[in-house]
Structures are given as structure tokens and as C-alpha cells.
A and B are shown apart, each in its own frame.
Chain A
Amino acid sequence: MSETTLDDQVRKLALGVETVYHAQSPAAYRRLGERLYGAGYDFPQCLSGVDMEYGLRAVVNLRRLRDQAEVTLWLDVAYEAPQVPTLCDLWGGLEWHEREAYDLVGLHFSGHPDHRRILLEDDWTIHPLQRRYDTGGYLIPEWRPKPWPEAADSDQAPVEAAEAVTPKEAETGPSELSQLKSLSAAFAAKLQAQGITSLKALAELSDEALAPLATAIGLKSAAAVAKWREQARQLREGA
């Protein structure tokens, strides 16, 4: 998966007081994990497995000790393919939590160095925290999986995941567009794909061109593009 598509692979949800990054594919989950690690989220708090009744969900709670920022990461996988990329090479503290999620919930962590049951016996056959088992560990006869939920509705703004979690990432982006503070590497690449390759081209955009360009790179409103244009103009005047 290339750099530019990560934003499309992650949905950002605001659930009450918490912000959640909902990865839409295992590869996006892994990549987002690497970005969060690079963005200074150094303290692994918790990894939980949840049986959603249409599939299994891995939930990772991370903390950045520098400013006590918290972030939550989700990945939904199907019962038939419960493979989740491991994150325990980034945060060693998740190693046992991943083993526990495998043991009790049935998630499989690919790349885990020690993928064994941890609390139950090795020859245990079920994953007891799945909803299809009752508290005695027996199959519930009337249990049926739910249908997989619909994909994200189209009017939801695409997540500027890279921007939100790694403000410094823009500096590594290509071309002189990377001088813009609020522009992520992913969006810089998208702008380039639309033919906006320099600060000059961005600064000389007309008002009418803003809205079509925003649609083309997947933004809901033209305001963000206008903001980048304003910054580009200031930079050019300064130079």
C-alpha cells in the first residue's frame, strides 16, 4: 500500500470524549501503528479484543507521556480470517496483551514472536470471550452472526490521519509544498497528482478552482485548500 492511500484506509470517529482511528484494513492498521509510534505515542496502555458478533475487533489504547495525549486504534476482522498484524515489535508492552486477546477472544496476531495461549491451557479448544459460547464454554444453539455493517457514509470527511497524528511528517513530504505547515505528506502527494507541484501554482489558484480541486483530492470543503493557498502566498511574499 502506498503512502497516499492511508487516509482512505482509516476513518476517524469522535465517540463521546474519545477520538478513535478505525483502520479499514490490516495493512492500514499496521501503518497507522507505525505512524503513531513515530509521532511519540510511547506508552502502550491496553489492547483488547472485542467480539462484535459480525467479526472480531482489536482495540489498542496508546498514550504519549510527553503531553498525556491518548489515542485509540480499531481494526475489525472477520471470524474466518482473524489475522491482525502485531504491534508488539513497536511496543513491547503489548506482547502479553496480544497473547491474551488470542487466548480469550481468538484474534490471530501475525508476526507475533511468541504466539501461544497465556491464561488457558495449550490444548484448550475454544476462545471463551466469543459471544457464541455461554459462560460454561458451551455453544449457544440459537447464536447467529450479524451482517457486516455498511461501509462509511460518503459525506463523512476523509481522515487526515497522517496530519492529525504526525505533524512533523509534512517536512519529509516531496517538493516545496512541504513548507506548508498544515499540509500532510499524503495531501501534498494528492495535490501533486492534480498538477499543483509548486508553491507558485498553489498561490495562483483562482477562487473558482478551489472547490473542484477540494473534491478531486477528497476534501469536503474548499476551506482547507484556501488555507493552503493563503500560506503559499505568504511564503512567496516572504521569499
Chain B
Amino acid sequence: MTMLRPTELAPVPGAQEMLVNLGPQHPATHGVLKVVLGIDGERVTRAVPHIGFLHRNHEKIEESRTYHQVIPYLDRMDYVSGLQNELPFCLAVEELAGIEVPERAKYLRTALFELNRIISHLVWIGTYMLDLGAITPFLYAFRDREAALDIVERTTGGRMLPNYFTFGGVRRDINPRFWQELTGFVDYLEGVLPEYEALTVEAPVFRARTVGIGVLPPAMAINHGISGPMLRASGVAHDLRKDQPYDAYPWLDFEVITRREGDSWARSKLRCQELYQSIDLIRQCARKAPRTGPYLGKGRLKIEAGRQRYRAVEASRGQLGVYLYSDGGPGPYRSKHRSPSFTNLQVLPDLFVGQRFSDVIAILGSMDIVLGEVDR
């Protein structure tokens, strides 16, 4: 969160420029993002993002917590997909401490990880449509998300802040009807998704507002560390579920989805395709997961001094990683969280400048950021 420098206020040559504050209280900035926009008529001449309004410095708090005490803080980074935040930290600690995860726990974590992706994408589709002026898809998406959150709540005890994954598996056993409920939900969702798709990404008005808007070239996406649906919509087939498989992903059958266009519409369509993919992955988990067995592996949580690890997973917004450094103590000496929204937001000026003012929200919404993990 910074003040504008004099150079940022200097006029752009040849432009009759007006400075406009987008946010931090603008509803379409999904949290508290402030972007100072320079506009010349309808064209955006500059964009300066300001972040940090939600900064809580989890990383400093984590210095004085034990490994187990860190996990609840992770839920609060990306509050839309809390379960996903816990996984990279658990994987890093498991690798450093040499804790084995039982097969059943791996399938459980993978199924819940994919369920969280569905929840996250449903929030995205609802709020994006709201940004663009459509009310009804928002109501549908949040109604269905509630059904998914109910499953999470019955399993973990928490709706959005589950505190469920732990080192070596999950914290407590599932209820006996878990897989039945889960497959029931994805069966229902698969039935209604085509209708949502027709209402949203395939709707003529939506296409008119997003096709060819905010095109992100693949070389720029890679160089800026863009990940997740934003990267894959630009035609780069990078997905950590395939490229660095963790938990049960090596045993599941799926393809990395990519699209060539790289515009806002491609990013939207790709997320819809990922919803179908998540449904399929959850079904595979439900079919293959062992019904009996331990849900928590045994092992001693002791990490030697000087050990370090960067471990990342493919969360719904992209590469969610944690850099962990241990001094041999009971908690992390340093843990840096690499959140996908923070890194993806860096290309915002490149995508905004030159576009029309009315397209700014259409581009920002298609990036799918959560300010909780941008500011951490």
C-alpha cells in the first residue's frame, strides 16, 4: 500500500488524462484492491495497483507458532478455498520430516481439494457475472456452493475455515456417508452446469464483453510467473497436478486443459471446463478410495536445523506454494507463502493499458483474485 509517486502523477504525453480511483471499496475489486487508473476519453492510459489493505503478516505470526498451530492461519489467506491453502504447508512438512501419508488419506485430501476447486470456481462465476451486471447466475452459483460447503462442514466442522488437513493425513475421520454425499452432489452439479454455462460463458452478451478483451500472450505469462487458469488459457500446458503430482493425483486419469485465445473469455470457459474435470476427478476418487484404513499416518514431527523446501500445489487460482526454512525448532523459522493471486496481479497494468474503461472490470474479474491471499 503505497502513495502515488510524482512520476506516477506526471502527465502522459499527448493524452488529456483524468485520474480515477478504482477501489478500494469498489464491489468489483473482490476485497480491497485499489487501482489508480488514468483515462483519456474511454481509453486507459495507465494503471497503478495498490495492495496491502488486508495485510495481517501471517508470516510473522507463524514464527512464534508450532507447525500444528500454523494450519488455522493458512485457512484465512485465501478464504474462498481454505482447504487448498493447508495442503502445500502439509506437503512441505511431511517431506522434511519424513512422515508417510496413508493411501486413504491421500484420496480424501484429493477429493476435498477438488471439491474446494468447485466451490472456488462457483464463487468466481457468480461474482464475475455480478460484476458484469447479471444477478441470476450469482444466486444459482451461491445456492449450489452452499450444498458443497455443507459437505465440507459435515466433514471438517468448519464451513470456510476447515482446519482439516494435517501432517500425515487428515485431522479426523469422515462420516460414513461422505462418499455418497459427495457423489450425490457432483451428480446434481453435472446436471445443472450446462444450464449455467448457457447462462454465462455462452451467452451472447457475455461473449460480446469478453472475447478478445485482455489478451495475455503466453511468453509474457510465463515470464511473469502467471499460473493456473490464466496461464492455461494462454496456451501453456502447465499444471502441477500433472507436472509434480502430489497425494492421489498420480493414480487419477485426467488431461491438462488448455485454450489458445488467452482472452477473458478463454479464462472463463477454461474454468467452466475445469468444473467438469473436478467432477470427474471426485468420481474417480470415490471409486478408487479405500473404504477402510487409517486416515492419519504415524511419524515424528521433527525437522533438522537448516532444512528447507519449496513445495507448491495447483490451487484453483494457480500455483500455491510455501517456502519453509527450519532451524530445528517446534515451528517454522520462516515460511513464505507464494500465493497465485499476488503473482498473477502483477500483469494487471499490462492488461489494462490501452483497453476501454468499461472493459477494466471484465478483465479484473476474469483474473479471479482473492485479496486475502494477495495481502496475506
Interface residues of A (CB under 8 A from B): 15-18, 20, 42-46, 48-51, 59, 61, 65, 68, 70, 72, 91-97, 100, 104, 116-122, 128-129, 131, 135
Asked if B59 and A116 make an inter-chain contact with CB atoms under 8 angstroms apart, the answer reads no
B64 contacts chain A at the CB level, 8 A cutoff: yes
Instruction: Decide if B309 touches A18 in the complex (CB within 8 Å).
Output: yes
The answer to whether B55 and A68 touch across the interface, beta carbons within 8 angstroms, is no
Complex interface: stretch among B236-244, B264-272, B361-369: B236-244
List residues of chain B with CB within 8 A of the CB of A72: 308, 310
Which residues in window 316-330 of B have CB below 8 A to A? 319, 321, 323, 325
A65 contacts B222, C-beta separation under 8 Å: yes
Judging by beta carbons under 8 Å apart, are A91 and B225 in contact? yes
Q: Is the CB of A118 within 8 A of B2?
A: yes
B346 at interface by CB-CB < 8 Å: yes
Contact B343 A18 (CB under 8 A): no
Q: Which residues of the partner chain B approach A18 to less than 8 Å between Cβ atoms?
A: 308-310
A122 to B5, CA, bound (A): 10
Is B52 within 8 A of A118, CB to CB?
yes
Distance between Cα atoms of A129 and B321 in the complex (Å) = 19
Contact A95 B346 (CB under 8 A): yes
Contact of B310 among A46, A51, A65, A122 (CB under 8 A): A46
Please report the C-alpha to C-alpha distance between residue A93 and residue B284 in the assembled complex, in whole angstroms: 35
Nearest-CB residue, chain A, relative to B98: A16
Are B61 and A135 in contact, CB atoms less than 8 angstroms apart?
yes
Q: B335 CB to closest chain A CB, in angstroms?
A: 9
B243 surroundings in chain A (CB, below 8 A): 68
| Given A45-B338, A65-B222, A116-B5, also A92-B346 (CB < 8 A) | yes
Residue of A nearest to B61 (CB): A135
Of A46, A51, A94, which is within 8 A of B334 by CB?
Answer: A51
Number of interface residues of B (CB under 8 A): 45
| Chain B residues in 8 Å Cβ range of A15 | 306-308
Given contact pairs A120-B52, A121-B1, A128-B57, A45 touches B346 in the complex (Cβ within 8 A) = no
- Kindly list chain B residues whose C-beta atoms are within 8 Å of the C-beta of A20: 308
Q: Which of A49, A96, A121 contacts B343 (CB under 8 A)? A: A96
Chain B interface helix/strand/loop/mixed: mixed
Going nearest first, the 4 A-B pairs with the smallest beta carbon separation are A93-B225, A48-B336, A119-B52, A46-B338
**A48 — nearest CB in chain B belongs to which residue?**
B336
Q: Within 8 Å CB of B51, what residues of A?
A: 118-119
List of A residues within 8 angstroms of B236 by Cβ: 65
| Distance between Cα atoms of A54 and B5 in the complex (Å) | 34
Bound together, the chains give a CA A46 to CA B57 distance in angstroms of 17
Taking CB atoms, residues of chain B closer than 8 Å to A61 are 310, 321, 323
A-B contact pairs, 30 of them (CB 8 A): A15-B308, A16-B96, A42-B222, A42-B223, A43-B222, A43-B225, A45-B312, A45-B319, A46-B321, A46-B323, A46-B336, A46-B338, A50-B333, A50-B334, A59-B308, A72-B308, A91-B224, A91-B225, A92-B224, A93-B226, A93-B346, A104-B59, A119-B52, A119-B375, A119-B376, A121-B2, A128-B60, A129-B60, A129-B334, A135-B61
Interface residue B3 (Cβ < 8 Å from any Cβ of A)? yes
Q: Give Cα A46 to B311, complex, Å.
A: 10
A93-B225, A118-B2 given; name 7 further pairs at CB < 8 Å: A18-B308, A43-B222, A46-B321, A116-B2, A118-B1, A121-B52, A131-B63
A43-B222, A45-B338, A118-B2 given as contacts; is B323 within 8 A of A16 (CB)?
no
Whether the pair A129, B310 counts as a contact (CB closer than 8 A) is: no
Interface centre among B3, B51, B224, B336 (most CB of A within 10 A): B336
Chain B minimum-CB-distance residue to A49 = B336
Q: Identify which of B223, B323, B345 contacts A48 (C-beta below 8 A).
A: B323
